[in-house]
Amino acid sequence: MLQTLRWSAGRVVSALITLLGVSILIFAAVRLMPGGYEDIILGPLASPEERAALAAAYGLDQPIIIQYFAWIGQILTGDLGVSFVTQSPVVEELAKRIPVTALLTVMALFVTLVIGIPLGIWTGVRSGAKQGGAMGRIASGFGISVPEFVLGSIVIFVFSRLSLGIQVGGFSNIGSGFGPTFQALLLPALVLSVFCVAAAARTTRDAVMSVLVEPHITAAVARGETPWHIVRHHVIRNAGIPILTLLATVTAYLLGGAVIVETIFNIPGLGSFMVTGLDRRDFAVVQAAVLFAATVFIVVSLVLDLITSALDPRVAVTGKAGS
Amino acid sequence: MKQNRTRARAATGTALALGLACVLSSCAAPASESGSATQTEAAPGFLAVADDALTGSGALTVQLDYDTSEADGLDPQTAQTARSWMIMGLVYETLVTTDENFEIQPGLATAWEQPDDTTYVFTIDTAATFSNGRALTPEDVVGSLQRQMESLSVWSGQMGPVESIEATGADQVTVKLSEPYAPFLAALANTPAAILPMQEVNDGSVDLTTTMLGTGPYLVDAHRQDESWTFTANPEWRGGDDLAVQTLELQIVDQESTRQAALREGSAGLANFVSIDALTQLADAPDARVLNQSQSDFYYVNVNSQTPGSPLEDQDVRFAINTAIDRQAIADIVFAGETAPTGVTPSNLPGACSVDALPSEQATIEDAKKIIEESGAGDTTLNMVVYTSEPVMGQIAQLIQQQLDEIGVTVEIEQFDTATYNARVFGAPADFDLSVGWFAGYVDPSMVTKWWNPEQALFNAGYTGVHEDLNELITAGASETDPEARAEVFTELCATADEYSEIVPLVHRPSIVGFDTAALSPTIQSNEGYGNILRDITEYRLPAAE
């Protein structure tokens, strides 16, 4: 128990160090990019004096170290700064957009869990059968290899020509009701989930297959347990840890994929906000959005690690899940 | 000579047309077929004319590719981009405006006189009121124009040598210039010269950076940056009750394919497109009509003459490169014939120079090859910088790369986002050999020609030299008011700039406008100088609700 607590505390500390590293990396990356906010907003016609004045107004003429510590100081007080473009506090801007991305991500995650994992179990169990195995491999291979921007473009093309009652590109804010928002996010969520469904199916299938060859499964078969009973009581439980690990990866992937999908489908979420911010060198926005995404990933990973260690205490001792 | 040049390129042009055009238009039917069909004018100077038989009124949704982001907020006087001018132009009005032939027409000034070359006497429309109900006064006009002149913004330079602005009657304002300046009225016709509520600005009750208060047909109801604008009809507008579009929603939709989808399915009544491919890609949509509005804006190539040791310091080398660039091929291949070549003065503006008469168009490819060979410029690989937010830039660059390859010049294309592009091209020192960009063409040639003088256009000082002969022609073009004499100046100016070959104009930048015929009957001019695709929105007609 003490060992588990010590291991958990270590994981929390390493998560905080990772977050600090991410903050330094984000800050340095966006500040070292060529071109500044003043170049974009004022354009080439502005005089050097006008550009210098605008840079000074936003503190962009200060040394990068001073800017970094000023930013970190702000963050520790809960202030993420002001968007250069909208002139609104970044916290307010994120508050408008995070729910949209969260709903999109949750919908995609739901599809992943509902389709990906059962599909993986089914193909794993039927790995010996020609039809099931081949179909699973083809479906997951397709899902993993087709990028979102290709799939999204195809979906927009198809659904703009075939009126199936699903609107393309007409996002309704959550405030206007859940129904229209859900409908607007349906296609993007499906596009976003394709890779994750495929990845979940593959991982689950491999995990199931690795469990199925273990002696206790052979013993269960010998005891005359039904296939469904074996899957439910022996396979799913033992295949759970790699699936949990996958969920952390999928969460990170969904946040990254949302950037592309939101841009393609014109959804005013965190992803499209971040892309626009990057284009305009709206540093406070990019830094806050990336830091938020990194925090979500780190926290999810941490929580899943803790759950994993609870499920299998050997993780806390050896750092590896038992087989 | 010109024929030799054309023949020498026939094979290459055909091959490129087959290859590149297929890629660019997704191997759809040639754009010229549908494009030419869609470009039939509904009336002289108009691609579409609203159907007055339609009596409906209500909401219109317009999808645009990007929002404005002004460093100084919503102040029209400091607005720098055509998109800002269009959006702010829904609320603000100017003393004069331009028509489908780029001619100046009355706006808030019902009439004007010009007793001499340097004096303009405007009669102000006393029926005009701001949306807060206060009547427009000559003092608003005087204050607005003075404020613009004192702002030192880009547009204050376009206003010319204004000496004095005075109210000379209850409905009269007189502007005196220190010397004749032909583009003066054209500069007054754009949103940065908008007439502002100066009484409220001066007493501090209105902050123009956060509030738009004008005499125009619309009021801002809501704005979510990069998402949408909502406008409602201004009940105080002197245009009366004949406004069909009572609510206007501008949705910002970055992806061209999504805007196309919205037009197909009817969730947008009107949308803009940058890619010429929209003409063909929407050709089969039953209710969508797509038009190619001719803009005075144009693409150009910068040829950096200011990098020490660069072969581009040599004017002959630059001219050889200019000679090898085939403007017509760019129009035909990259734009499927839907645009036209231009010189320094936008070719669709009155008095513009003839592209065919340019020295580089008269020269031969063989001469260009010889210069490159003798200069040793072919031993160096030149970079060509383009930005990615407008994909056609990369396509133009690819074609120029192949054209320059014909004379032995190797070009490596580097594509960046806009901020990086700006830093590389407009930074000090400039960090590129060749770059592709575009200029707004405005509605008077002299408003553009000044960009060839780096002492006025500071942004290009890093890559162009100062040429007194060219600068004198630029000044002469602005001060000459006789149309024929002015056209002669422009011919010489275009030729001189062409020989220096530091900023090489290519072709006009198309503006593709699509609309849903089931939802909207718009009026759209064939030509546009200030990027205002909603210029005639007060003329739009909507079908009556069923």
DSSP B221-255: EEEETTTEEEEEE-TT-TT-S--SEEEEEEEE---
Residue B443 Cα distances to A208, A209, A243, B454, B474, angstroms: 71, 72, 64, 21, 16
Cβ neighbors of A296 (< 8 A, separation 6 or more) are A251, A255
Identify the closest residue of chain B to A54 by CA–CA distance. B71
Give the confidence band of A153 by pLDDT, cuts at 50, 70, 90. confident
- In this prediction, residue A176 carries a pLDDT of 63
Residue B51 Cα distances to B55, B232, B528, B532, angstroms: 9, 22, 21, 21
Average pLDDT of the segment spanning A163-170: 65
Give the confidence band of B267 by pLDDT, cuts at 50, 70, 90. confident
Query: Could you count the other beta carbons within 10 Å of the beta carbon of residue B274?
Result: 18
Q: Rounded distance, CA A199 to CA A141, Å?
A: 9
Quick check: B261 and A272 CB within 8 A? no
Query: Could you count the other beta carbons within 10 Å of the beta carbon of residue B43?
Result: 11
Residue B261 near chain A (CB below 8 Å): yes
User: What would you report as the CA-atom Rg of chain B, rounded to the nearest whole angstrom?
Assistant: 24
With contact defined as beta carbons under 8 Å apart, do A273 and A83 qualify?
Answer: no
- In this prediction, residue B33 carries a pLDDT of 34
- For A4-23, write each residue's pLDDT tens digit: 788 888 888 988 999 999 99
- In this prediction, residue B30 carries a pLDDT of 32
- In this prediction, residue B35 carries a pLDDT of 34
Give the confidence band of A131 by pLDDT, cuts at 50, 70, 90. low
Identify the closest residue of chain B to A32 by CA–CA distance. B420
Residue B19 has pLDDT above 60, yes or no: no
> Worst-scoring range by mean pLDDT, A78-82, A225-229, B173-177, B261-265?
A225-229
- In this prediction, residue A174 carries a pLDDT of 61
- In this prediction, residue A69 carries a pLDDT of 93
Q: How would you write B284-337 as a 3-class SS string? A: CCCCEEEEEEEECCEEEEEECCCCCCCHHHCHHHHHHHHHHCCHHHHHHHHCCC
**Mean pLDDT of the residues in chain B:** 90
Tell which phi-psi region holds residue B337, choosing left (phi > 0), alpha (psi between -120 and 50) or beta: left
Q: Chain A contacts of B463, Cβ < 8 Å?
A: none
The pLDDT > 70 percentage for chain A reads 89
Partners of B248 in the beta sheet?
A: B60, B231
- In this prediction, residue A221 carries a pLDDT of 82
The whole-angstrom distance between A304's CA and the closest CA on chain B is 36
Identify the closest residue of chain A to B209 by CA–CA distance. A87
Residue A169 Cα distances to A153, A188, B238, B402, B505, angstroms: 12, 10, 36, 38, 37
Cβ neighbors of B241 (< 8 A, separation 6 or more) are none
- In this prediction, residue A315 carries a pLDDT of 66
Give the confidence band of B21 by pLDDT, cuts at 50, 70, 90. very low
Q: Rounded distance, CA B171 to CA B184, Å?
A: 21
> Worst-scoring range by mean pLDDT, A95-104, A314-323, B11-20, B449-458?
B11-20
Residue A44 has pLDDT above 60, yes or no: yes
Q: Chain B contacts of A36, Cβ < 8 Å?
A: 419, 423
Cβ neighbors of A103 (< 8 A, separation 6 or more) are A174, A181, A182, A185
- In this prediction, residue A171 carries a pLDDT of 66
Order of strands, sheet of B228-233, starting from the edge strand that comes earlier in the sequence: B218-224, B228-233, B245-252, B58-64, B270-273, B511-516, B288-295, B527-528
Q: Rounded distance, CA A167 to CA A264, Å?
A: 14
Give the confidence band of A319 by pLDDT, cuts at 50, 70, 90. low
Chain position carrying tokens 């070292």: A32
> Worst-scoring range by mean pLDDT, A154-168, A308-322, B234-248, B381-395?
A308-322
Q: Rounded distance, CA A300 to CA A109, Å?
A: 13
Average pLDDT of the segment spanning B324-341: 96
Quick check: B259 and A281 CB within 8 A? no
Residue B123 has pLDDT above 70, yes or no: yes
Partners of B219 in the beta sheet?
A: B232
Query: Could you count the other beta carbons within 10 Å of the beta carbon of residue B342?
Result: 29
0.85 surpassed by complex ipTM:
no
- For B387-420, write each residue's pLDDT tens digit: 988 889 999 999 999 999 999 999 999 999 988 9
Mutate to test the interface with A, among B251, B255, B447, B464 (most CBs of A within 10 A): B255
First to last CA, chain B: 63
- Name the phi and psi angles at B289, rounded to 5: -125, 135
Identify the closest residue of chain B to A170 by CA–CA distance. B267
Q: Is the dihedral of CA A164, A170, A176, A182 positive or negative?
A: positive
> Worst-scoring range by mean pLDDT, A205-219, B161-175, B261-275?
A205-219
Q: Is the dihedral of CA B104, B108, B110, B112 positive or negative?
A: negative
3-state helix, strand, coil in chain A (%, to 5): 80, 0, 20
Query: How many CA atoms within 13 Å lie on the side-chain side of A240?
Result: 15
Partners of B109 in the beta sheet?
A: B124
With contact defined as beta carbons under 8 Å apart, do B354 and B370 qualify?
Answer: no
Q: Which of B391, B60, B254 is nearest to A265 (CA)?
A: B254
Residue B374 near chain A (CB below 8 Å): no
- In this prediction, residue B296 carries a pLDDT of 95
Q: How would you write B415-481 as a 3-class SS string? A: EECHHHHHHHHHCCCCCCCEEEEEECCCCCHHHHHHHHCCCCCHHHCCCCCCCHHHHHHHHHHHHCC
CA A198 to chain CA centroid, Å, is 15
Average pLDDT of the segment spanning B82-88: 94
Give the confidence band of A35 by pLDDT, cuts at 50, 70, 90. confident
Q: Rounded distance, CA B489 to CA B494, Å?
A: 9
Residue A63 near chain B (CB below 8 Å): no
Q: Rounded distance, CA B35 to CA B279, Å?
A: 6
Quick check: B255 and A280 CB within 8 A? no
Q: Chain A contacts of B255, Cβ < 8 Å?
A: 156, 169, 263-266
- In this prediction, residue A183 carries a pLDDT of 80
Quick check: A169 and B258 CB within 8 A? yes
Query: Could you count the other beta carbons within 10 Å of the beta carbon of residue B533?
Result: 24
Give the confidence band of B16 by pLDDT, cuts at 50, 70, 90. very low
**Mean pLDDT of the residues in chain A:** 82
- Name the phi and psi angles at B231, rounded to 5: -115, 145
- In this prediction, residue B99 carries a pLDDT of 94
The pLDDT > 90 percentage for chain B reads 78
Q: How would you write B363-375 as a 3-class SS string? A: CCHHHHHHHHHHH
- In this prediction, residue B15 carries a pLDDT of 41
Residue B121 Cα distances to B186, B260, B509, angstroms: 15, 47, 36
Top pLDDT among A129 and A208 is at: A208
- For B163-187, write each residue's pLDDT tens digit: 999 999 999 999 999 999 999 999 9
Query: Could you count the other beta carbons within 10 Å of the beta carbon of residue A67?
Result: 17
Residue A239 has pLDDT above 70, yes or no: yes
- For B26-83, write each residue's pLDDT tens digit: 333 333 333 333 468 999 999 999 999 999 999 999 999 988 877 778 999 989 889 9
Residue B231 has pLDDT above 50, yes or no: yes
User: What would you report as the CA-atom Rg of chain A, rounded to the nearest whole angstrom?
Assistant: 24
Residue A276 near chain B (CB below 8 Å): yes
- In this prediction, residue A322 carries a pLDDT of 44
Whole-prediction pTM: 0.84
